[in-house]
Amino acid sequence: MGWRFDNPLGTLTTDDQNARAKKLWNEEALGAITEDNNRLPQPIIGLLVLTIVTAFLITFPLWGQRPNAAMFEPYIELMDAPEIQGKSDDEAMAFIVAQVKASGNEWLPKLERHPVEMDDLRLIRDQVIELKNKGVDLREYNIVGNKVVLANFEGNKRPDGTVERIQPWWDKGYTIDIFFIIFFCLGVMIAVKRLPEYDWQPTHGDH
């Protein structure tokens, strides 16, 4: 295997080896089938780059979409408000939602995606209050069905060695993706650049 590196965007193969490859490519028919040596059309390259960028962009802003306990904390605090005592569940819930909305809560976009009813709040209320009394960060706890559980994110380490259960910007999944993409691109580029230059086309002999 002869290598050359003076023209990496053209070919990584020595001239004599390329000459042998061209001869074989011209003369050999594989079951009467032949192949051309066209490069990837530039619009297709653009589409591939767009795909890779989109793959991250469409998943990146959705970190931690699962509802967490912190989101519902203001709802739960308002469950004891005197204004809702004696009201029906629907009226009470409408009041709570309106109050939280008026307060400009940071979780409003997520709360809109995860509407709840009074019965839902009753299921998680005691669990959230218990966690709050423990002094833990409620953002680290997810609502899964009727349970409030520690999230399975693997985030930054705290000074005491424990791991934050909040998704960090460097999420391990995305960093592995970047690793995969880099090695994939390198591998495929080496594979195709070992071929004769793309401006050479086989004539396919008599095939």
Binding site for other proteins (CB under 8 A): 24-25, 28, 30-41, 44, 47-48, 51-52, 54-56, 58-59, 62-65, 144, 149, 151-154, 167, 171-174, 176-177, 180-181, 184, 187-188, 191-192, 195, 198, 202, 204
Nearest to other proteins of 2, 187 (CB atom):
187
CA–CA gap between residue 197 and residue 132 (Å, rounded): 66
- 103 vs 175 by CB, closer to other proteins: 175
CA distance 113 to 107: 10
Angle subtended by helix axes 69-77 and 118-134, to nearest 10: 100
38: left (phi > 0), else alpha (psi -120 to 50), else beta?
A: beta
CB 79 within 8 A of CB 121: yes
Nearer to other proteins, 95 or 198 (CB): 198
125 or 204, CB closer to other proteins? 204
Report the amino acid identity of residue 207: H
> What is the amino acid identity at position 120?
D
We find the least distance from the C-beta atom of residue 202 to other proteins, in angstroms, to be: 8
| Residue 181 and residue 4 in contact, taking contact as beta carbons nearer than 8 Å | no
Residue 55 or residue 81: which is nearer to other proteins going by CB?
A: 55
Smallest separation (angstroms) from other proteins to the CB of 144: 7
Task: Give me the least distance between CB of 22 and other proteins, in Å please.
Answer: 12
Beta carbon of residue 66, minimum distance to other proteins (angstroms, whole number): 8
SS3 92: helix
Distance between CA atoms of residues 143 and 97, nearest Å: 18
- Phi and psi for 40 in degrees, rounded to 5? -70, 125
Residue 77 vs 197, nearer CB to other proteins = 197
What dihedral do alpha carbons 15, 17, 22, 25 form, nearest 10°?
Answer: -160
Task: Output the smallest distance, CB 207 to other proteins, in A.
Answer: 9
Shortest separation between residue 205's beta carbon and other proteins, angstroms = 12
